[in-house]
Structure 1
Amino acid sequence: MKNRVEILAPAGSYEVFLAVMNAGADAVYLAGNMFGARAYAGNLNNEELIKAIEYCKFHNKKMYLTVNTLLKNNEINNELYDYLLPLYNSGLDGVIVQDYGVMKFIHESFPDMEIHASTQMTITDSGYADFLRKYNVTRIVPARELGLEEIRDIHDRTGMEIECFVHGALCYCYSGLCLMSSFIGGRSGNRGRCAQTCRLDFNYNGRESKILSLKDLCTLDILPEIIEAGVFSLKIEGRMKSAEYAAGVTSIYRKYVDMYLNKGKETYKVDKKDRNRLLMLFDRGGQTDGYYMRHNGREMIADNTKISKDLGEKKQYEEYIHRTFVEANPKIKINGIVTIKKNNPVTMSLSFGNIAITIDGPTCETALNRAVSREDVDKQLRKMGQTMFELDTLDIRMEDNIFIPLKSLNELRRTAVDRLTDAYLEASKRNNSHRFLPCAAHKESRNKGISVHVLTYEQADEAVKHNIQRMVIDTEVMSGDEISRCVELCRKNNVKSYIGLPRVDRGTYNVKSNSDGYMIRNMSQKTKCDKEVIADYCIYAFNNYAVSALEDYGITGITYPLELNEKELSEMDIDNGELVVYGRIPLMITANCIDKTSGNCHKGSTLFSMLRDRKNALLPVLTCCKFCYNIIYNSVPVYLFDKLDRIRIQPEYYGIIFTTENATEVADVFKCFNNRTKPEDNTFTRGHFTRGVE
């Protein structure tokens, strides 16, 4: 027998919650009406959430609440505590979080609640654990792009619980790093409102296709390997799916997890019928076992010409699921004893597990007419109605010729059930929360300087001619020699130099440089740095609690978030911040490669190509073979130069990001900056500076 693992099922409503529990889930993850990464799911209200917590306690299951979005200052200050308090007090098992500020707030306010690090944190190696342990995080949900050996390494090095997706939709971008829906569609995935822009058609090299749309994940065939890599929690995606989908998928994974746990790997075999049933429940053009056994590949892209269409069989199977799991209402068996004696109160005892209660009812009398029979008592006391219980055994200790009104027996039963419920749940309740007070403000106005980000030596060579104070030297394009030349160029021109570390670091990048410091893109990179560390925008400082968490960890400079508007940014307590005022924003960082997918691989070289969207906008794609990822940039740069003299924010640095620009274009950008004018071609975006995100 292997160590037991957890099947973690999704629930977008209370109906789905009950269905997946009936289908064999060990735990469920769900959201309330606030702060979940699936804002368009039905979700549960607070009354339903508490009911679900109580259900889990009686059935020895676990329930995890998703608070896995980025929260603004007003939300974390005014709403989060009151939202979580009744759930915490009722015994909520844990929360799944993305936001560092939320993590800090919950750790301080709700000390006995488990915190799980969401896949939205983009955890790609064990170095992240050093930061997470400060907040007693007990479980990691690594990036979905990791292979089994990388997952095994995280588990072995950290000893933390590992939760991995085993079935459902796959994002094309590393989770937590996607701004495509936000910048193109105005709906932020970091706020639970992804518009799934990546599922649309794009044109690449003259061919129209859904080149960014991945097949759904299905790992039935490699479940033993996943479990043996150290994965404890097997997570099924689908909080926006139907009860039939969630329960059907859960039941099939229950079957195969039990097969492996009971019989081992040697006899493990997947029935083709079960694969077909999963496709019947949902088909996005085939299935893939994801990144567990590969880094990327054309075979992962959805083929929308091959979607199953046997609607009759699908309907029949969904009806079976509905009858078996959705309509099912299994009861918890409890035991009872009732004692009925003349001239004494009726007593009723109920027991479940190690909890037993006894209550007194009305006094019994000698029957003057028809006596109450044992059958009458048994019938009335077994009427459990809409409760979660049924009497397994009922010991009736009763004298003859007794009268007691039947309505009194009904009231006795109801009171006893309520008392048993309260007594059992009392052990799970907490009352040790305390509201974590807002971080004290210490923001200071500083003299503004310019922080330039460069991809090429040509850009760096031009930039130092324009009175800049800081240079971030990105590592995607330049060789080690070119990076060293950039550092020396900065030194000669009295410019501070920072190496911009890879946007995704799978633990292989050797951080050694004679620069002044490093700009990190992932919290795990902090442990590798021996000099000053500043953070890029993707180290999300969406609220002042997050700012405090980053500063506590030794990060000396923070980039203002790209998804807050001017008013929200002005409320940020960042005293050493960089505000991006120009540059193409990375919309996606992807493990899959567009060139490789299209059969146009330029392995070993790094270059830009263009992806055309449905509105004919051209999105530059940087193929970064050095770190084996793509960066898909916005079609136009963020541009705020003409607003700088009127904004309320006082950053230490104005951030100017160069990507596709040559030396002449770099000089033109500085000219616009100095004159505070708009570019002549008028092709730019304000990003979220004026509108923000919901």
Structure 2
Amino acid sequence: MLELLAPAGSMEAVAAAVQNGADAVYLGYGDFNARRNAKNFSQEEFAAAVSYCHVRGAKVYLTLNTLLTDRELPQAAEFAAQASALGADAVLVQDMGVVRLLRQVAPDLPVHASTQMTLHNLDGVKMAAELGMTRAVLSRELSRDQIEYICQRSPIEIEVFAHGALCMCYSGQCFLSSIIGGRSGNRGLCAQPCRLKYGWGDKADSNPLSLKDLSLAGHLRELRKMGVACVKLEGRMKRPEYVAVVTGIYSRAIKEDREPTAEELEQLRAAFSRQGFTQGYYLDQQGPDMFGVREEEKEPKELFAMARNTYQSGEAQRVPVTFYAMLRPGEPTRVGVEDLQGRVVTVEGQVPEAARTRALTAEAVETQLSRTGGTPYRCVKVRSLVEEGLSLPLAALNALRREALDGLTKQREQLPQRRQGEFHPGARYENRKEPLALTISVRTAEQVTGELLALGPAMVYIPLEELAAHPEKVQAPAGTKIGVTLPRVAWDREMDQVTDQLRLVKDLGITDALIGNLGMAPVAQKLGFTLRGDFGLEVYNSQAVKEYKRLGFSSLTLSFELKFPQLRDISKSLDTELITYGRLPLMLMESCIIKNRTGSCNCQNTNILTDRKGARFPVVKAPGCRNELLNSQKLFLADKAADYRRIGLWAQRLLFTTENPRECVQVTQRYLDQGSWSPNEYTRGLYYRDVE
């Protein structure tokens, strides 16, 4: 049976989910989760939610799925330890530093890989398993054949999103909200700028980044047959009535092994949609009809009133129990109750008397014990031994039933016995004092010229497709190494080509691979490349650095969402580099917005997306026919070198995207203190300003 996982942004939403059939709920406790604007639970509320759910046979998953700074880790450790002690059934994470921390403070608490980890291929899922995770939440962009491929070979459980809002960007790879608005999606405060208007000319007159909500209602049996363990409903920011409606429809369909009816589909649309729903990614049928916006509609008052009734007026009697009763002369009456997990409670009452008129029958005892209305329990069987000629007041039987069920509730509320440890940040490494090396990453092979290489960068990273197509680019003067940049996203159906291209460049003498996703590390490692971490790994704290070191990485690119003092304070147990120039990547998109606009592939030309303020964002081709949205302004820090040269880095990186070969040379010269080039417009990025 598919597990149904529902969102809970409040205690009322917990009740709404559970009373409507959710097998588990996910909620935030403390400040470190991907919906910090939701009503996150206090310690008392969290304990109450766990108790409420466990009594009714539902699980509780804690969301701890944001990137954390070194200063935040001790408090996160405290939250995790408390949540484990309070009975949380699992914790969802994004940050590799948090993964490491959890091993220390809550080693018995199961860990799930959040969709924010951008796990989208089998190797990524296997890496999650090696990290000790028991479940991976896949990227929402995957098609059904790719989901099935992973499910059939995965060593751990697979969870997929089945209903709710779709991000335009691969989760965990979006920097649009933080770069343009100072509110990071990776920190749980996405401002949803993708829902705003943009345009391809000078006018922001359409919504090319606003996807319709996802709905896989209609594919539930297929998902179960594939081997999906859990389907997830999105919506911790939504009201409890919405949670009740959507959970109820999905729960009934799953339990009855059917798909939702036409009436239920209409109720899903009425509860919330953006001009309907899409299954475009799942069906591998992408295009303009996947997009939509929220239109002002009347609240479905009648639907929501019915929904409120499901969780405000009594119990859904979710937990099946078996009763036992024994009435014998001269002995106290015994009543027992047992749940499916084998918990048994037995209670004793008064001694039955000899019947004066009408004797108590086994049928009467069974009828009385079956009356569990108003409780979370549903009687499925009664086994009774009632000897003849005995009498007992029905009120006494009722009292024994209530006492037995109260005892069972106490047992179901019992907290698990788990080990608890302390968080130890470990040894601090002194920051490097040596002069910074200079590394360069390019988007096209033509950007790498003899003139550029003559400037002596320590490393030049060239995309895998480009390097495989231009083998002559592996030649570099002494002191400069050519490395290969792997795609941040490559589905399993693309991995044969990736592997062949990697073998090709390895045979050409390339030894260094720049990795931006966990799922790309195994193939590079297997072929003997030196692993270097790119910005897509989201390295935000010292513990993440240590974890990547443990996994065999030789260097890491630190997150460009951190300020200089935070970057300085990271204990650098590995060589680290920082992007100090370039158009920062804001979104990595599976859906080709260029093709959506023109109807044909047109990414060789310049494509510019304009926002309401007139800012112009280049859209470029990413590996695998994907799109990447780049910042409207270039990050420029050549005149601020004193600020980043003292934070202990191994190298600074120049990120070349839309620059022509001549510009690449000019920029590099400026960063080597030669010449006076500077961009017309530029940004200092987030290195000097707080990101929420």
1:188 to 177, 181, 184: 184
2:305 to 319, 323, 338: 319
SS of the residue 1:644 aligns to = helix
SS of the residue 2:682 aligns to = coil
| 1:641/1:678 contact within 8 Å kept | no
CA displacement at 1:291 relative to structure 2: 0.6
Alignment-derived partner of residue 451 in structure 1: 439
**How far apart are the structure 2 equivalents of 1:252 and 1:422?**
31
**How far apart are the structure 1 equivalents of 2:91 and 2:62?**
5
CA displacement at 1:418 relative to structure 2: 7.6
1:511 to 502, 505, 530: 502
| 1:182/1:194 contact within 8 Å kept | yes
AA in 2 matched with 1:464? L
SS of the residue 1:108 aligns to = helix
SS of the residue 2:72 aligns to = helix
- Comparing 531-540 with 639-648, greater Cα deviation is found at 639-648
**How far apart are the structure 2 equivalents of 1:61 and 1:110?**
21
**How far apart are the structure 2 equivalents of 1:153 and 1:105?**
31
TM-score by length of 1: 0.84
Alignment-derived partner of residue 576 in structure 1: 575
Alignment-derived partner of residue 343 in structure 1: none
**How far apart are the structure 1 equivalents of 2:647 and 2:274?**
45
SS of the residue 1:167 aligns to = strand
Alignment-derived partner of residue 502 in structure 1: 487
Is the aligned partner of 1:474 residue 2:494? no
| 1:30/1:64 contact within 8 Å kept | yes
For residues 416 and 499 of structure 1, do their structure 2 counterparts lie closer, same or farther at Cα, with a shift above 3 Å needed?
Answer: same
**How far apart are the structure 2 equivalents of 1:390 and 1:298?**
48
- Comparing 11-20 with 684-693, greater Cα deviation is found at 684-693
AA in 2 matched with 1:98? Q
Write out per-residue CA displacement over residues 128-155 of structure 1, whole angstroms, 9 at most, x where no aligned residue: 1342223321111111111111111111
1:247 to 222, 229, 244: 244
2:62 to 61, 65, 68: 65
TM-score by length of 2: 0.85
Is the aligned partner of 1:485 residue 2:483? no
* Pairing 1:290-329 to 2, within 5 Å after superposition: 290-294=280-284, 296-302=286-292, 307=295, 309=297, 311=298, 314-329=300-315
CA displacement at 1:665 relative to structure 2: 1.8
* Pairing 1:107-122 to 2, within 5 Å after superposition: 107-122=103-118
| 2:345/2:404 contact within 8 Å kept | yes
AA in 2 matched with 1:639? F
Alignment-derived partner of residue 598 in structure 1: 597
For residues 385 and 83 of structure 1, do their structure 2 counterparts lie closer, same or farther at Cα, with a shift above 3 Å needed?
Answer: farther
**How far apart are the structure 2 equivalents of 1:676 and 1:66?**
49
Write out per-residue CA displacement over residues 339-374 of structure 1, whole angstroms, 9 at most, x where no aligned residue: 9xxxxxx9998855354568999xxxxxxxxxxxxx
SS of the residue 1:588 aligns to = strand
For residues 238 and 454 of structure 1, do their structure 2 counterparts lie closer, same or farther at Cα, with a shift above 3 Å needed?
Answer: same
- Comparing 322-331 with 18-27, greater Cα deviation is found at 322-331
* Pairing 1:606-645 to 2, within 5 Å after superposition: 606-624=604-622, 626-645=623-642
Write out per-residue CA displacement over residues 533-592 of structure 1, whole angstroms, 9 at most, x where no aligned residue: 101011122111111110101010000111111111111122401011111110000001
AA in 2 matched with 1:156? Q
**How far apart are the structure 1 equivalents of 2:136 and 2:560?**
26
Write out per-residue CA displacement over residues 191-214 of structure 1, whole angstroms, 9 at most, x where no aligned residue: 000000000000114562011000
Alignment-derived partner of residue 264 in structure 1: none
- Comparing 231-240 with 447-456, greater Cα deviation is found at 447-456
| 1:560/1:569 contact within 8 Å kept | yes
Alignment-derived partner of residue 417 in structure 2: 430
| 1:641/1:677 contact within 8 Å kept | no
| 2:34/2:188 contact within 8 Å kept | yes
Alignment-derived partner of residue 531 in structure 2: 533
SS of the residue 2:490 aligns to = coil
CA displacement at 1:255 relative to structure 2: 2.2
CA displacement at 1:35 relative to structure 2: 1.1
| 1:279/1:286 contact within 8 Å kept | yes
SS of the residue 1:172 aligns to = coil
Write out per-residue CA displacement over residues 506-527 of structure 1, whole angstroms, 9 at most, x where no aligned residue: 1322422131310011111111
CA displacement at 1:55 relative to structure 2: 2.2
| 1:145/1:295 contact within 8 Å kept | no
AA in 1 matched with 2:75? E
Superposed CA RMSD in Å reads 3.6
* Pairing 1:359-398 to 2, within 5 Å after superposition: none
SS of the residue 1:79 aligns to = helix
Write out per-residue CA displacement over residues 273-316 of structure 1, whole angstroms, 9 at most, x where no aligned residue: 22211111012122111411115211101156xx584x37x211
For residues 474 and 495 of structure 1, do their structure 2 counterparts lie closer, same or farther at Cα, with a shift above 3 Å needed?
Answer: same
Write out per-residue CA displacement over residues 19-45 of structure 1, whole angstroms, 9 at most, x where no aligned residue: 111111111111113211001111222
1:91 to 87, 101, 123: 87
CA displacement at 1:166 relative to structure 2: 0.8
* Pairing 1:25-44 to 2, within 5 Å after superposition: 25-44=22-41
SS of the residue 1:579 aligns to = strand
| 1:279/1:308 contact within 8 Å kept | no
AA in 2 matched with 1:456? T
CA displacement at 1:386 relative to structure 2: 11
SS of the residue 2:302 aligns to = helix
For residues 549 and 186 of structure 1, do their structure 2 counterparts lie closer, same or farther at Cα, with a shift above 3 Å needed?
Answer: same
**How far apart are the structure 2 equivalents of 1:681 and 1:535?**
28
Unmatched tracts of structure 2, length 5 or more: 350-371, 385-389, 392-398
**How far apart are the structure 2 equivalents of 1:63 and 1:622?**
41
**How far apart are the structure 2 equivalents of 1:206 and 1:272?**
42
Unmatched tracts of structure 1, length 5 or more: 262-267, 340-345, 362-383, 401-409
| 1:151/1:230 contact within 8 Å kept | no
SS of the residue 2:231 aligns to = strand
For residues 674 and 479 of structure 1, do their structure 2 counterparts lie closer, same or farther at Cα, with a shift above 3 Å needed?
Answer: closer
| 1:66/1:95 contact within 8 Å kept | yes
**How far apart are the structure 1 equivalents of 2:211 and 2:580?**
33
Write out per-residue CA displacement over residues 387-415 of structure 1, whole angstroms, 9 at most, x where no aligned residue: 9789999x9xxx99xxxxxxxxx9x9999
| 1:15/1:326 contact within 8 Å kept | no
Alignment-derived partner of residue 75 in structure 1: 72
| 2:56/2:376 contact within 8 Å kept | no
For residues 662 and 445 of structure 1, do their structure 2 counterparts lie closer, same or farther at Cα, with a shift above 3 Å needed?
Answer: same
**How far apart are the structure 2 equivalents of 1:212 and 1:48?**
37
- Comparing 676-685 with 26-35, greater Cα deviation is found at 676-685
Alignment-derived partner of residue 367 in structure 1: none
Alignment-derived partner of residue 365 in structure 2: none
Write out per-residue CA displacement over residues 415-453 of structure 1, whole angstroms, 9 at most, x where no aligned residue: 998866544433x42241112411322345153210011
CA displacement at 1:639 relative to structure 2: 1.8
For residues 308 and 636 of structure 1, do their structure 2 counterparts lie closer, same or farther at Cα, with a shift above 3 Å needed?
Answer: closer
